[in-house]
């Protein structure tokens, strides 16, 4: 078994929706069901890695952009796995393809992304959720640390 198979948690994945100046960060995927489509950057969580750390690592690896994960804009799951979508704040960097998982990385106007046929449907839904302003926010709480520290996200009263 290679190193990636030993350290990757194949049932946990994340994405970061990065919006800057009314544009969203997208990458053209090079493999799998999303091949040739524009999607938001993301990937699998490594064993022992938090979802927040994974989204920072994945966005940087795939796009060259440093982000800070914020609120959760969506969660997709089934009986086998889960996928958490974070609103991710742009910190620094220039959008550059990794040359492996994607063939191009670009900033696209949000409205254009929502109408393009080459933008994956889930990506459109995530962009709409991010643009809505309705998020689950991190809420500190005192709880057990028996199995490590927990992070709680919930709806805050406006």
Q: What is the pLDDT along the chain (158 residues), one digit of tens a residue?
A: 566 668 999 999 999 999 999 999 999 999 998 899 999 999 999 999 999 999 999 999 999 999 999 999 999 989 899 999 999 999 999 999 999 999 999 999 999 999 999 999 999 999 999 999 999 998 888 877 777 778 888 887 65
| Rounded (5°) CA angle 54-57-59 | 105
Q: Element (H or E) spanning 53, and its range?
A: helix 51-63
Compute the distance between CA of residue 10 and CA of residue 99 in angstroms, rounded to an integer: 22
Give how many domains the chain has, as a whole number: 1
Compute the distance between CA of residue 14 and CA of residue 77 in angstroms, rounded to an integer: 11
Structure tokens at 151: 């992070």
Domain containing residue 66: 3-154
Name the pTM for this structure.
0.91
Structure tokens at 158: 């406006």
Which domain CATH number covers 98? 3.90.79.10
Compute the distance between CA of residue 17 and CA of residue 1 in angstroms, rounded to an integer: 32
b/e 114-129 (16+ beta carbons within 10 angstroms → b): bebeebbebbbebbeb
């Amino acid at each position: 078994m290679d190193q990636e198979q030993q350290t990757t948690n194949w049932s946990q994945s994340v994405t970061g929706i990065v919006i800057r100046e009314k544009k969203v960060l997208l990458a053209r995927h090079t493999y799998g069901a999303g091949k040739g489509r524009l999607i938001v950057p993301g990937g699998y969580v490594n064993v022992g890695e938090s979802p927040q750390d994974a989204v920072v690592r994945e966005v940087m690896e795939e796009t060259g952009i440093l982000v800070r994960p914020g609120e959760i804009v969506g969660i997709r799951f089934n009986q086998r796995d889960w996928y958490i979508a974070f609103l991710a704040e742009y910190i620094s960097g220039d959008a550059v393809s990794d040359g492996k998982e994607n063939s191009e990385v670009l900033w696209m106007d949000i409205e254009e992304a929502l109408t393009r046929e080459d933008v994956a449907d889930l990506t459109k839904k995530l962009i709409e959720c991010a643009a809505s302003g309705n998020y689950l926010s991190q809420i500190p709480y005192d709880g057990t640390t028996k199995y490590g520290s927990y992070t709680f996200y919930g709806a805050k009263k406006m």
